[in-house]
Amino acid sequence: MLGASGVIGQPMKLTVLLVEDDDDDYALVQELMVEIQDLDVNLIRASDYDTALKTLLDADVQACLVDFCIGSESGVEFVRRLKAIGCTLPMIILTGAEDSGVDQQALAAGAANFLDKSGLDAERLGRVLRYACSPSTCTDQACQNLPSVGMLTGAGGQAQATDMRVLLIEDDEDDYFLTKSLLADIFGRHLKMEWIASWQPALERALEGQHDVAIVDYRLGARNGLELVREAVHLGCCMPFIVLTGEGNREIDLEAMRAGATDYLVKGEITAPLLERSIRYAIERRKAERHLAELAQIDQLTGLANRYHFREFLDRSIAIADRQKSHVGLMLIDLNRFKAVNDTYGHAAGDLLLRDIASRLKDCVRPSDLVARLGGDEFTIVITDVDDKATLADTAERILAEMRKPVNIGSCDVDVGASIGIAHYPTDADCADSIIVSADTAMYAGKGQRSGSFHFYTPEMHRRAAYRIELERNLRRAIRQQQFELYFQPQVNLSTGRLIGFEALLRWNHPELGLVAPGEFIELAEESSLILPIGEWVLETTCAQLAAWRDAGHPEVHVAVNFSARQFQNAGILEFVRRTLARYDLDPRLLEIEITESDILQKPAEAYRLLTSFSELGIRVALDDFGTGYSSLNHLRAFPGAIIKIDRSFVRDVEFAQSSRAIVQSLIAMTHDLDLKVVAEGVETTAQLNYLQNHDCDIVQGFLISKPIPASAINAEIFNTRLLPKAFPLTEEVA
């Protein structure tokens, strides 16, 4: 029981003033007072408010029972007046059965409680008096010059720095009054209390994060207060919860802690010091927990949320969106040139860049959104409470505009650029995992496209991504099961009309799809590094084929092999090529290595160094698809090889476009000036052939002469006879 008298085991002595004009009601209260156990009440009566006021000033009264209505005067008004002059004496309003709506008026006026006289019994009256006069609410002086405490502060109540904002979630009025008076005693005028009696509104309010602490009844009507605590904590509520229970036992204690409550108190045992300690402890503990959690959730470099915090926040945002029928947006941001900056200028510059980008991203979103760094240059933003996709598009535009501005990394300014993949919940995903996958798919789909763009997820992207995954799996199997084959396309010397070599072109004999061209899988093989084992196989097979033709006594011709950038970045490639040639005892001049200009440009210095080494070994080096990339004369000058292959798009157009004719003509002239040989790719018509011959092209390759064919179809005739169309005069013959 509440320690009202301060002396445990002894009945509590109280002087109570009853303001009541009705004799019967007075008699009733008098009888009940006698019946109350544990209370020794000295009841004084005043029949009107003036007498009551005088009595209050003269006598040592500890509580006041005020009839709601004396004649034409209102008990509520009386309470309000007393409270207005600073009276802290607990006042309890007595109402009749017909006085509806008194409760709110009474509380608003500052009454400590109200009691319905009809059906009133000793037990209830005793309880209310005990609560009202517990040491925490009883003051020595009936009227002190203290401001009233315990006023309800609504949602809009402005809290001061020292204010204690308490959310009381309690469906029992008596317990409400008890707790309120204890709190009022502890925090005085700094108490800003809000009382909510039912589960759902209480949860909504708790989630708004406006209070310092919540005190929750274990029983809330048919529901359990712990369920509310659990739900609130799950939805990210950081406020500490103190649970009030009717009785205490170890099980409830454990259950409360597991639900996320900071403390639990047994109602009958609560005193002001106990409650105060519990509240202060709960708040401090939650603060410390939050600080620790923040440390564990922050990316130390940028101060943004880290991967763990991001995941928690996303889960929570989706749970809230489900409850509120709102939407969530997820953006994944890929910095286009971070790696280049890091590699070129060092890690310190990279760190500066990441910090700058982090603060720009933060400035682009609302405080309620979350910007996180997942690691490296991977950034992500969770946008909560999204209206529609158009809002997300606006935000993405804003971010891209920021990303376009140069970043100062100390010694200079660099351009980074970014691409963004966006997914929307619930349109594009049904859970946190799938929205991450969707945003990632959208970002991936945007890669390789114009830098500085954003892409919304579409189901089509998903199908493509799934196709790629399937393709990659199949490719791995193809390597294991040797489903690859090399086709060879003849290259013809325009001055002799004879075969001078082949280009080896990769084909995939897919068990179901049939023959698959490299356009379908080379790019993916490069991204997944599968190109390395494939490239080794191509080189090995080419060398084996060269040796086989040699052993069959065919005239020696070269075979050109396509290399990708990824293969060039492989440190052991030079040694591998050298050893393979040696194993088949081949003259290095029989091998040609083709690389495209754009592949060289990925790492020009390394590429040139490697190509020079190949040239020094005697291997022919060709620049493939010339004219489609940057095609600067400087690159051409620095090129360590001997052959330039003009891309087939120019060859195709020489018949129709003057511009293509001009380009081909000047390309040929330019390469000859640099002492390089020119191969024209994709020759399909005699008109093209004519043109190329008239402009001194050295070598041709194309369907007009032969499509790429398997080794089994290459016979002595191909090696030994003229391969140009019959009607076509040879350069030598023309000369």
Q: Which stretch binds ligand C2E (CB under 6 A): 233-241, 407-415, 610-618, 678-686?
A: 678-686
* Interaction pattern, residues 705-724, with ligand C2E; x per rule: CB under 6 A: ---x----------------
Q: Which stretch binds ligand C2E (CB under 6 A): 271-279, 291-299, 455-463, 558-566?
A: 558-566
How many chain residues bind ligand C2E (CB under 6 A)? 22
- Please tell me the number of Cα atoms within 13 Å of 523 on its side-chain side: 5
Q: Does 224 bind Mg ion (CB under 5 A)?
A: no
Calpha distance 442→462 (Å, rounded):
8
Closest C-alpha to 194, from 139, 250, 224, 153 = 153
Residues 507-536 that bind ligand C2E (CB under 6 A): 517-519, 522
Calpha distance 61→142 (Å, rounded):
6
Pick 308 or 630: Cβ nearer ligand C2E = 630
> From the list Mg ion, ligand C2E, none, which binds 682 (C-beta under 5 to 8 Å, kind-based)?
ligand C2E
Pick 74 or 562: Cβ nearer ligand C2E = 562
Residue 420 and residue 427 in contact, taking contact as beta carbons nearer than 8 Å: no
Output the smallest distance, CB 497 to ligand C2E, in A: 17
Q: Binder to Mg ion among 5, 562, 564, 688 (CB under 5 A)?
A: 562
**Cβ neighbours for 320, distance < 8 A, ≥ 6 positions apart:** 207, 235, 236, 326, 384
Helix 75-84 vs helix 102-109: angle between axes, to the nearest 10 degrees?
A: 20
Q: Does 542 bind ligand C2E (CB under 6 A)?
A: no
Pick 133 or 561: Cβ nearer ligand C2E = 561
Closest C-alpha to 674, from 633, 622, 623, 731 = 633
* Interaction pattern, residues 642-681, with Mg ion; x per rule: CB under 5 A: ---------------------------------------x
Type of residue numbered 466: A
Residues 675-714 that bind Mg ion (CB under 5 A): 681
Pick 74 or 693: Cβ nearer ligand C2E = 693
Helix 225-234 vs helix 250-259: angle between axes, to the nearest 10 degrees?
A: 30
Q: Does 56 bind ligand C2E (CB under 6 A)?
A: no
The CB density around residue 503, as the number of other CB atoms within 10 Å, is 23
Q: Binder to Mg ion among 263, 334, 377, 625 (CB under 5 A)?
A: 625
Calpha distance 427→419 (Å, rounded):
21
> From the list ligand C2E, Mg ion, none, which binds 703 (C-beta under 5 to 8 Å, kind-based)?
ligand C2E
- DSSP assignment of 431-496: SHHHHHHHHHHHHHHHTTS-SS-EEE--HHHHHHHHHHHHHHHHHHHHHHTT-EEEEEEEEEETTT
- Residue 341, class by beta-carbon neighbours within 10 Å (0-12 exposed, 13-18 middle, 19+ buried)? buried
- Identify the DSSP state of 153: -
Q: Does 682 bind ligand C2E (CB under 6 A)?
A: yes
Q: Does 684 bind ligand C2E (CB under 6 A)?
A: yes
Q: Binder to ligand C2E among 54, 703, 713, 725 (CB under 6 A)?
A: 703
Residue 438 and residue 445 in contact, taking contact as beta carbons nearer than 8 Å: no
Residues 614-673 that bind ligand C2E (CB under 6 A): 624-625, 648
- Residue 394, class by beta-carbon neighbours within 10 Å (0-12 exposed, 13-18 middle, 19+ buried)? exposed
Strand order through the sheet with 164-169:
191-196, 164-169, 213-217, 241-245, 263-266
Token duo for residue 596: 């495209």
Q: Which stretch binds ligand C2E (CB under 6 A): 103-111, 155-163, 383-391, 675-683?
A: 675-683
The radius of gyration of the chain from alpha carbons, rounded to an integer in Å, stands at: 43
* Interaction pattern, residues 583-612, with Mg ion; x per rule: CB under 5 A: -----------x------------------
> From the list ligand C2E, Mg ion, none, which binds 490 (C-beta under 5 to 8 Å, kind-based)?
none
Token duo for residue 539: 């080189």
Residues 133-152 that bind ligand C2E (CB under 6 A): none
* Interaction pattern, residues 70-109, with ligand C2E; x per rule: CB under 6 A: ----------------------------------------
Q: Which stretch binds ligand C2E (CB under 6 A): 261-269, 492-500, 560-568, 667-675?
A: 560-568
Q: Does 299 bind Mg ion (CB under 5 A)?
A: no
Determine the length of the chain: 735
Residue 334 and residue 390 in contact, taking contact as beta carbons nearer than 8 Å: no
Task: Give CA angle at 619 (560, 570), nearest 5°.
Answer: 85
Q: Does 452 bind ligand C2E (CB under 6 A)?
A: no
Output the smallest distance, CB 630 to Mg ion, in A: 16
Closest C-alpha to 344, from 402, 404, 420, 415 = 415
How many chain residues bind Mg ion (CB under 5 A)? 5
Q: Does 501 bind ligand C2E (CB under 6 A)?
A: no
Pick 170 or 594: Cβ nearer ligand C2E = 594
Output the smallest distance, CB 520 to ligand C2E, in A: 9
Q: Which residues bind ligand C2E (CB under 6 A)?
A: 489, 505-506, 517-519, 522, 538, 562-564, 594, 624-625, 648, 681-684, 702-703, 708
Q: Which residues bind Mg ion (CB under 5 A)?
A: 562, 594, 624-625, 681
